[in-house]
Amino acid sequence: MKTIFYPFAALLLVSAVTVLYKTTAAADRGVSSVTFSHHPELDYLKAVNSVGPPQDPQLLFLLMAQYSNANRQGEGTEFFSARLKEFGPRLTDVQKALYLSAIGLLRAQNASSVPLLHRIGYVKDTIAVLEQARGQVVPRAPDRFRTRDV
């Protein structure tokens, strides 16, 4: 019985020391343990997309997917909305549509976390964002890609 207990106690002690070390290291850097990020890919893509509008839309979509995978849709919506305001004058219609699409998708995924009384307005605003994204590119599309309003 003692042979099982000692390794288990040692493992528990090592785990506790590791958690304490990481918490202390985060506090020393001025980062609270709550905001300490475990998503380095997300942090990297945020930095890349903060510099300027990406020339390759894949960088925008990768960041959108990282926000979605990290279950941080609200934070992603705020990030892309801020970048849209910041880069707005420099963006082409297609780039604006990409930003609006990312905002709309993340808002749609986040709808279930909005309180029920506010959800209907939130969903209507999300649909308006997606329609605005569609409006940025549809007038320029060839006739065969346009859809009839039913």
pLDDT digits (tens, 9 = 90+) for 28-41: 555 544 455 589 99
What pLDDT was estimated at residue 38? 85
Q: What is the pLDDT of residues 113-129, one digit of tens each?
A: 999 999 999 999 999 99
Q: What is the pLDDT of residues 64-93, one digit of tens each?
A: 999 999 999 999 999 999 999 999 999 999
What pLDDT was estimated at residue 134? 94
Q: How many domains does the chain have?
A: 2
55 and 115 together in one domain: yes
What pLDDT was estimated at residue 33? 45
The pLDDT confidence band at residue 96, using thresholds 50, 70 and 90, is: very high
Count the neighbouring beta carbons within 10 Å of the beta carbon of residue 100. 23
The boundaries of the domain holding residue 63 are 40-145
Q: Would residue 54 be called left, alpha or beta, if left means φ above 0 and alpha means ψ between -120 and 50 degrees?
A: beta
Query: What does the buried/exposed string (b/e) look like for 124-135 if buried means 16 or more CB atoms within 10 Å of the residue's CB?
Result: eebeebbeebbe
The answer to whether 76 and 43 are in contact (CB under 8 A) is no
Q: What is the mean pLDDT of residues 134-144?
A: 75
How far does CA 83 lie from the centroid of its chain?
Answer: 12
Q: What is the mean pLDDT of residues 35-61?
A: 90
The pLDDT confidence band at residue 23, using thresholds 50, 70 and 90, is: low
Q: How many CA atoms lie within 13 A of 92 on its CB side?
A: 7
Residue indicated by tokens 């994204």? 133
50 and 96 together in one domain: yes
Is 150 domain-assigned? no
How far does CA 57 lie from the centroid of its chain?
Answer: 15
Distance CA 22, CA 4 (A): 28
Residue indicated by tokens 């905002």? 103
78 and 137 together in one domain: yes
28 and 52 together in one domain: no
61 and 23 together in one domain: no
